[in-house]
Amino acid sequence: MPHNATQDAAPPTHATEARTTVREYRTEELAEAAGIPVRTLRFYRERKLLPPPRREGRIAWYDDHHLSRLRTIAALLERGHTLGGIAELTVAFENGRDVGQLGELLGIGWSEETPVRLTPEALADYFEGEVTPENLAASLDLGYLATDGEEIVHVSRRLLDVSSALVREGVPLSAVLEAGRRVREHTDAMAALFTELISAHISEEAVPRLRPLAKSVVEAELTMSMDRLRPPGPALPPSGQTPSS
């Protein structure tokens, strides 16, 4: 079973000071929680894709930050990154590289989005009671989250604020993430449509300059689509007449 360490844990950092206990795992427990073989975990450790565990005699103790890193690695592998590329990303994290540069390594265009650095506790505050292992894995798979040492990086301030607002209104985070996955499919298709349109009739170099026009079209069409889905209101009486009682 996972180990709760208090007095014997490493000195607390700014991300752990508020916690009274630290959840820790032996090697086999961490591998099971991450859904990978122990030999894979040891391979990642040898490749320096994971930070060193805390040592207690001959026992290696890992914590939730190691588990989060393993889920990040799995999500990046699913998106086509190589272990060499992930190792480069890990070095960038540990050296505190600017999040914009991290976005280039992740293959995410962050030119107009503002990434947000969060402690695990701050993320839990955004989505109280909804930060489950399943939702974290889905967020990592979508590319919404990545880990940076003791912190978590969210790809977009706007997406973070909208997601947390929907959860506060009562929409489960799992449903928000599934909607985000479906929206991604449609926006990828729309981005391809506008890129092909502009490239075919103007030039490929004009795509960044005309991107605001594409965004305006999408926003207007989405607004009108939602209007069409809204139930019609009561009919207005003809001019000069008053509604009957």
- Output the pTM of the full model: 0.55
* Inter-CA distances, 100 with 47, 79, 86, Å: 25, 19, 16
Token pair belonging to 99: 């999040």
Q: What value does the mean pLDDT take over residues 94-120?
A: 61
Where does residue 15 rank: exposed (0-12), middle (13-18), buried (19+ CB within 10 A)? middle
Token pair belonging to 182: 């479906």
CA separation for the pair 148, 99 (Å, rounded)? 9
Tens-digit pLDDT profile for residues 60-100: 999 988 887 888 788 777 766 777 767 766 665 565 544 44
Token pair belonging to 53: 């565990």
Instruction: Identify the helix (H) or strand (E) that includes residue 123.
Output: helix 120-126
Tell me the HSE value of 80 on the side-chain side, using a 13 A CA sphere.
4
Tens-digit pLDDT profile for residues 146-179: 876 667 888 888 999 999 999 999 999 999 999 9
CA separation for the pair 181, 65 (Å, rounded)? 25
Average pLDDT, the chain: 79
pLDDT of amino acid 8: 41
Q: Are 89 and 76 in contact (CB under 8 A)?
A: yes
pLDDT of amino acid 242: 58
* CA pseudo-torsion sign 9, 130, 177, 37: positive
